[in-house]
């Protein structure tokens, strides 16, 4: 995809995502479009033992359900604890737009974040209406 085609507050597929270890297909919620890159959060499986054992990370997981997006097969988590950076060419297919309720849940989660830099949180908040 081209940079200008990426819309914020949408779910995209990132095939063989290099931001994942090991690289694998990941769904990404885009939250901010920067000059050359796009910031986003991974959609993860809900039963991560690692997340459950770290309460500071668990509180930054926003639930997303199959009714919220057609590619979600079961209740999952938007991992708002780890902001990822992507180039437009890494994102291949727009799957769905997020509801206002999910956008607000993500914004609330990052406002109380222990893991995200305050400056990045403010940039996301300032750019939340960017297409």
20 upstream amide cis, omega within 30 of 0: no
Q: Band of the pLDDT at 129, cuts 50, 70, 90?
A: low
pTM for this prediction: 0.92
Taking alpha carbons only, the member of 85, 77, 42, 30 closest to residue 58 is 77
- Give phi and psi for 69, each to the nearest 5: -160, 135
Q: What average pLDDT does the chain have?
A: 91
Architecture category of domain 3-126 in CATH:
Roll (2.30)
The predicted structure's pLDDT at residue 130: 54
Record the tokens describing residue 33, joined without a space. 């479009």
pLDDT in tens, 60-115: 999 999 999 999 999 999 999 999 999 999 999 889 999 999 999 999 999 999 89
Q: Where are the domains positioned within the chain?
A: 3-126
Range among 9-18, 40-49, 51-60 rated most confident: 9-18
User: Quick check: 54 and 39 in contact, CB under 8 A?
Assistant: no
Q: Band of the pLDDT at 15, cuts 50, 70, 90?
A: very high
């Amino acid at each position: 995809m081209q940079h200008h085609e990426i819309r914020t507050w949408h779910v995209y597929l990132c095939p063989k995502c290099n931001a994942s270890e090991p690289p694998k297909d990941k769904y990404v919620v885009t939250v901010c479009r920067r000059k050359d890159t796009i910031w986003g959060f991974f959609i993860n499986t809900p039963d991560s033992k690692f997340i459950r054992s770290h309460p500071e990370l668990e509180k930054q997981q926003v639930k997303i359900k199959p009714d919220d997006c057609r590619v979600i097969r079961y209740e999952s988590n938007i991992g708002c604890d780890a902001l990822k950076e992507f180039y437009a060419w890494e994102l291949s297919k727009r799957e769905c737009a997020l509801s206002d309720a999910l956008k607000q849940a993500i914004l609330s989660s990052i406002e109380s974040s222990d893991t995200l830099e305050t400056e990045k949180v403010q940039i996301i908040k300032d750019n939340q209406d960017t297409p």
